[in-house]
């Protein structure tokens, strides 16, 4: 989360009665009888946010600025946490595909989780069904966070697939 300062200025021959600042649709500052207005607020979550200003002159005409989108990026420098809950390392299966599932977390949020290079469903709680070849299989899970540096954590587990024998 980050703090942000918004500034607005307006001029008019009749003078400025009021300037209002809006952030994500909410009024965050109202400055009367001045040609400028400033607001510092937060903390704000990473991601896109919109702000705009309105100015009312002494006539009392009013005008609004166009909405501007700012994106707050947080580079936490930390790799996300990643836990593979199923299957257990060393587990043996008699049917394929199997579902690999677990959890991931990070201060900046989780952008994606992949299992053996395939995108999993979900991010903080995720799962993916994968096919196994007979014998020992290595499963690689990668969680990538939302920070601009795209930190990743990798977990590798091994499972064995022993299909039932035809008797």
- Residue pLDDT, tens place only, 118-142: 999 999 999 999 998 888 888 999 9
Question: Is 90 exceeded by the pLDDT of residue 13?
Answer: no
Q: Check residue 123 and give its pLDDT.
A: 94
Peptide bond into 87 cis (omega under 30): yes
DSSP state letter for 2: E
What letter does residue 79 receive in the DSSP assignment? P
pLDDT tens by residue, 78-131: 788 899 999 988 899 999 999 999 999 987 789 999 999 999 999 999 999 999
DSSP H/E element including 32 = strand 26-32
pLDDT of 131 reads 92
Average pLDDT of 146-151? Answer: 68
Q: Using CA atoms, how far apart are residues 151 and 102, in angstroms rounded to an integer?
A: 18
CA pair distance 33, 19, nearest whole angstrom: 8
Q: Is the pLDDT of residue 153 over 60?
A: yes
Give the pLDDT of residue 8. Answer: 86
Q: What is the rounded distance in angstroms from the CA atom of residue 4 to the CA atom of residue 68?
A: 14
Q: What is the pLDDT of residue 128?
A: 97
Highest mean pLDDT among 15-19, 27-31, 42-46, 78-82: 27-31
142-162 b/e (C-beta count within 10 Å ≥ 16 → b): bbbbbbeeebbbebebebebe
> With pLDDT > 70 as the criterion, what percentage of the chain qualifies?
89
pTM of the model: 0.56
């Amino acid at each position: 989360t980050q703090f942000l300062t918004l500034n607005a200025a307006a001029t008019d021959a009749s003078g400025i009665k009021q300037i209002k600042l809006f952030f994500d649709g909410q009024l965050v500052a109202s400055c009367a009888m001045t040609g400028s207005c400033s607001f510092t607020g937060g903390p704000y979550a990473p991601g896109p946010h919109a702000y705009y200003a309105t100015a009312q002159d002494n006539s009392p005409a009013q005008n609004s600025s166009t909405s501007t989108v700012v994106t707050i990026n947080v580079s936490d420098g930390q790799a996300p946490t990643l836990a593979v809950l199923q299957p257990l390392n060393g587990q043996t299966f008699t049917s394929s595909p199997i579902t690999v599932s677990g959890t991931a977390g990070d201060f900046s949020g989780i952008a994606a989780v992949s299992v053996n290079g395939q995108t999993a469903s979900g991010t903080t709680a995720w799962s993916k069904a994968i096919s196994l070849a007979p014998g020992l299989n290595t499963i690689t899970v990668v969680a990538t966070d939302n920070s601009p540096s795209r930190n990743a954590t990798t977990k590798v587990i091994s499972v064995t697939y022993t299909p039932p024998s035809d008797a």
